[in-house]
């Protein structure tokens, strides 16, 4: 046991040093928190083995020798963590018990005129986490709670004397930090000073204000854009970049990194108004011109604090800076004083940690996928890991240069980051975990398809390409692109199915999707009657997509969603786009000469014209306005004069697709039920109000199969 404790202490110290002193953490916060929790548990079970300088009893890391040391007159503390609601409640219970015990002791002392010989811990009812309920516990109330965001940056202390900023220091080990005054004085964001050099009127004689220096996401993105433009590797995350930027020897470098600060507490204070609560203290700091976060909220119960935490989680990615949790603080300063601190953290505050967005996992392999335009993109095959709210098993590595810059090798332990809906990213390897003899990854020289044509990287291009026109990998990429949500939106056509259809020779180009041999497909393993019907319906519905979506699906080089929309609006019909000269195409606002040339050339290729011809004979809509175009009118007008409302999701249609399919057959599809409604079609998760209204007005209610029959026959069941 003592061995494991010693090992954990050494490991945690090593990572503390990397994080705090070198700004170069090599494991994500979760892994670090796990080590810390394990040590805490072992120490709780074996109190005799707790060392005074254990990382559970201390804060941060010793300062480096890069900057002059600064001794904090009032130590800069850390915070204890809660990871769930129970742990949050346990913190509040502990605080209540302690206040009750203190009060009981005071009463007893007053009664007997003697000091109690028991420690508060003993009177409280045992250890901090024993979970026992003390009958006194509920009698002590915590009063209001201040809820704050937990900013993911680095703690600093600013010392103002008579309103003038004289010294700024990092936290260091909590007692001694580093003098970073010159760097703090240089901070600017969006043309304004990030911290005032001089406070507004009313400043006390001495004020040490504490807070977090962080890098706003916009500043981080701008810095990375600049790195990319200069061909330099991207920075991994805003927190480490903020720390690295702040601890520069040259303040000029720090100055233009956009670092900002949120103030959340005070150290030494002499003079100024006597304040009774933390919330009024924050208001006071703000009145002095210091940056105080507008999200701070004062609540009157733990339930309300929990709501704040839930809101933090929900809006985590809408904030213009990163947070890693919330901090809940007891508002009354007298209660804060009574509760005091352990050697590393105050008892009157708790940090609630949000689920991690970075994790480590093993990089099983690096493979290459070939896209619709022949671009070969390397991607990481990962041991599946739960991070940022979902399981991640793959992540793009973009191109050869990115793999090299990150120096990730199959067999490495890597840090994976996934923030909310953002695409997962491999940040880099954990070098300390790299097995000996792991070889650098080399970009494959041939395409992964059976033809194994060479992958070439042309001068000045970051990407490799397969130039073989009939490459089945490219075809798969094109078909997936054609069927994608932003293009023809064909559901039930996943990657595996596309691969299979290509392999069986059922599709050789995108137009073949409209002449699929469903009898053959029905015989394939994994295709039931329903799934074939769904696929057929989805393919059918896609015929009515707009011209803009068709243009996206055609996969014309340089043309994206927005520019396809511009062309579709300007020309109205595919035939007009095809007939247009380069000059006419380039006349459209937003279409540049390279794009115009590319569109023109696309429609001069025999192979592409053949595909367009096949799409035309399959009856696809070539017009931008699907309401009354020539192509749509060629469909049987089975729904002529009918008004069909749809609620909930239908298996065979996308949300937009179903409306388009109704209109294409002469019907109307408004968003609400009225007495004029012919039928209400009900899918998955329907809206209750539409259903109720249809029932009241005795409008026929159809399921998807009945709707399908109506579309085909024009007759209501
Ligand atoms: S209060 C004595 N409030 O989180 C209380 N800390 O994990 C000191 N942090 O060392 C801290 N946001 O660097 C406080 N709203 C907030 C915070 C915050 C971020 C940091 C701070 C602290 C660390 C503990």
Quick one: which atom of ligand 1 is closest to the CA of 59?
10
Mean pLDDT across 489-506: 92
Q: Which ligand 1 atom is the nearest neighbour of the CA of 346?
A: 2
Find where tokens 């408004």 sit.
670
Q: Which of 43-57, 432-446, 546-560 has the lowest mean pLDDT?
A: 43-57
pLDDT in tens, 382-397: 999 988 878 899 999 9
> Contact, 618 vs 540, CB < 8 A?
no
Q: What is the pLDDT of residue 229?
A: 86
C-alpha span between 592 and 587 (Å, rounded): 8
Query: Of 43-47, 71-75, 521-525, 699-703, which gets the smallest average pLDDT?
Result: 43-47
pLDDT attached to residue 122: 61
CA 174 to centroid of ligand 1, rounded, Å:
12
Rounded mean pLDDT of 172-186?
A: 94
Residue 427, classed as helix, strand or coil, is strand
Express each pLDDT in 592-632 by its tens digit: 999 999 999 999 999 899 999 999 999 999 998 755 444 44
Q: Does residue 137 surpass a pLDDT of 80?
A: no
Q: Rounded mean pLDDT of 709-717?
A: 88
If pLDDT is split at 50, 70 and 90, which confidence band does 46 have? confident
Minimum mean pLDDT range among 132-136, 511-515, 531-535, 678-682: 132-136
Give this prediction's pTM: 0.61
- CA–CA gap between residue 168 and residue 159 (Å, rounded): 6
E runs forming strands in 371-511? 375-387, 390-396, 413-417, 425-429, 455-456, 464-466
**Of all protein residues, whose CA lies closest to atom 6 belonging to ligand 1?**
150
Q: 265: Cβ below 6 Å to ligand 1?
A: yes
Strand order in the sheet with 679-682: 644-647, 679-682, 701-702
> What would the pLDDT profile of 458-487 be if each residue is shown by its tens digit?
887 889 999 887 888 899 999 999 999 999
The answer to whether the beta carbons of residues 328 and 147 sit under 8 Å apart is: yes
576 pLDDT band, cuts 50/70/90, is very high
Question: What are 191's two structure tokens?
Answer: 């043309």
Tens-place pLDDT, residues 630-650:
444 567 888 988 999 888 888
Residue 292 has pLDDT above 70, yes or no: yes
In this predicted model, what pLDDT tens digit does every residue of 510-534 receive, in sequence order?
Answer: 999 999 999 999 999 889 889 999 9
Q: Name, of 165-169, 369-373, 458-462, 697-701, the range with top average pLDDT.
A: 165-169
Is 77 touching ligand 1 by the criterion CB < 6 Å?
yes
Residues marked active site are found at 150
Within a 10 A sphere around the Cβ of 129, how many other Cβ atoms? Answer: 13
Residue 78 CA, ligand 1 centroid: distance in Å: 6
Average pLDDT of 222-237?
Answer: 84
| Nearest Cα residue to 60 out of 178, 185, 208, 149 | 178
pLDDT at 663 over 80: no
How do strand 679-682 and strand 701-702 relate by DSSP bridges?
parallel
Summarize the confidence of residues 319-323 as an average pLDDT.
95
pLDDT for 63 beyond 80: no
Ligand 1 atom 2: residue of nearest CA: 77
| Mean pLDDT, all residues of the chain | 88
Residue 645 phi, psi dihedral angles, 5° rounding: -100, 140
Query: What is the predicted pLDDT for the residue at 132?
Result: 45
- The residue whose CA has the least distance to atom 21 of ligand 1 is 155
The response to whether residue 329 sits with its C-beta less than 6 Å from ligand 1 reads no
**Mutation pick for ligand 1 pocket among 263, 351, 353 (CB with most ligand atoms within 8 Å):** 351
The whole-number pLDDT of residue 61 equals 65
Question: Among the ranges 35-39, 184-188, 224-228, which has the highest mean pLDDT value?
Answer: 184-188
DSSP string, 211-226: EEEE--HHHHHHHHHH
Q: 705 falls in which pLDDT band (50, 70, 90)? A: confident
Q: Return the closest-CA partner of residue 388 out of 348, 429, 428, 417.
A: 417
Top-confidence residue, 148 or 462: 148
The answer to whether the CB of 85 falls within 8 A of the CB of 181 is no
- Of 291 and 655, the structure prediction assigns the larger pLDDT to 291
- What pLDDT band is residue 651 in, cutting at 50, 70 and 90? confident
């Amino acid at each position: 046991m003592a061995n494991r404790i010693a090992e954990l202490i050494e490991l945690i110290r090593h990572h503390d040093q990397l994080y705090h002193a070198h700004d170069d953490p090599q494991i994500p916060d979760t892994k670090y928190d796990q080590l810390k929790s394990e040590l805490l548990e072992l120490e709780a079970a074996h109190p005799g083995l707790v060392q005074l300088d254990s990382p559970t009893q201390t804060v941060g890391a010793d300062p480096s020798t890069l900057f002059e040391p600064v001794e904090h007159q009032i130590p800069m503390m850390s915070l204890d963590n809660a990871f769930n609601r129970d742990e949050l409640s346990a913190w509040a219970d502990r605080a209540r018990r302690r206040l009750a015990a203190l009060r009981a002791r005071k009463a007893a002392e007053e009664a007997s005129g003697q000091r109690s010989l028991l420690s508060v811990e003993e009177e409280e009812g045992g250890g901090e986490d024993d979970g026992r309920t003390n009958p006194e516990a509920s009698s002590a109330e915590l009063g209001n709670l201040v809820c704050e965001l937990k900013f993911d940056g680095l703690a600093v202390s600013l010392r103002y004397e008579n309103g003038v900023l004289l010294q700024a220091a990092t936290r260091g080990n909590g007692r001694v930090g580093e003098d970073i005054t010159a760097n703090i004085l240089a901070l600017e964001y969006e043309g304004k000073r990030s911290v005032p050099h001089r406070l507004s009127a009313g400043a006390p004689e001495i004020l040490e204000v504490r807070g977090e220096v962080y890098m706003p996401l916009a500043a981080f993105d701008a810095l990375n854009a600049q790195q990319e433009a200069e061909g330099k590797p991207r920075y991994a995350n805003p927190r480490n970049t903020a720390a690295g930027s702040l601890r520069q020897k040259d303040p000029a470098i720090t100055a233009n990194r956009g670092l900002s600060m949120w103030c959340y507490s005070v150290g030494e204070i002499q003079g100024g108004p006597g304040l009774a609560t933390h919330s009024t203290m924050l208001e006071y700091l703000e009145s002095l011109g210091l940056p105080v976060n507008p999200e701070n909220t004062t609540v009157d119960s733990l339930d309300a604090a929990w709501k704040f935490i839930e809101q933090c989680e929900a809006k985590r990615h809408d904030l213009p800076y990163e947070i890693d949790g919330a901090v809940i603080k007891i508002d009354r300063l007298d209660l804060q004083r009574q509760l005091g601190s352990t050697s590393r953290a105050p008892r009157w505050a708790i940090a609630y940690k949000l689920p991690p967005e970075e994790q480590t996992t093993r990089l099983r392999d690096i493979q290459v996928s070939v896209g619709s335009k022949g671009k070969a993109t390397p991607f990481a095959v990962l041991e599946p890991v739960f991070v940022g709210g979902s399981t991640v098993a793959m992540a793009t590595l973009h191109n050869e240069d990115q793999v090299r810059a990150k120096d990730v090798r199959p067999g490495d332990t890597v840090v994976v980051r996934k923030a909310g809906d953002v695409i997962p990213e491999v940040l880099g390897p954990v070098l300390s975990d790299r097995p000996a003899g792991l070889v650098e990854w080399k970009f494959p020289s041939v395409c992964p398809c059976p033809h194994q044509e060479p992958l070439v990287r042309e001068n000045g291009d970051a990407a490799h390409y397969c130039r073989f026109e009939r490459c089945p990998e490219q075809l798969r990429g094109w078909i997936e692109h054609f069927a994608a949500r932003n293009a023809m939106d064909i559901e039930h056509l996943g990657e595996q199915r596309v691969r299979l259809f290509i392999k069986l020779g059922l599709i050789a180009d995108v137009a073949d999707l409209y002449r699929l041999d469903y009898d053959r497909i029905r015989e394939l393993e994994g295709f039931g009657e329903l799934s074939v019907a769904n696929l057929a319906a989805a393919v059918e519905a896609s015929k009515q997509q707009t011209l803009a979506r068709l243009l996206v699906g055609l996969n014309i080089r340089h043309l994206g969603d927005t520019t396809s929309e511009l062309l579709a609006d300007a020309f109205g019909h595919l035939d007009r786009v095809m007939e247009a000269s380069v000059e006419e195409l380039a006349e459209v606002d937003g279409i540049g000469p390279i794009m115009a040339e590319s569109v023109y050339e696309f429609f001069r290729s025999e192979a592409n014209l053949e595909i367009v011809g096949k799409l035309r004979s399959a009856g696809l809509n070539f017009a931008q306005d699907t309401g009354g175009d020539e192509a749509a009118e060629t469909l049987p007008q089975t729904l002529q004069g009918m008004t069909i409302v749809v609620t909930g999701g239908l298996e065979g249609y996308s949300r937009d697709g179903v409306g388009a399919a109704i209109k294409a057959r002469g019907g109307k599809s408004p968003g609400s039920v009225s007495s004029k409604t012919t039928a209400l079609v009900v899918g998955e998760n329907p809206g209750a109000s539409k259903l109720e209204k249809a029932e009241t007005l005795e409008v026929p209610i159809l399921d998807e199969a009945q709707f399908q029959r109506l579309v085909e026959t024009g007759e209501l069941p």
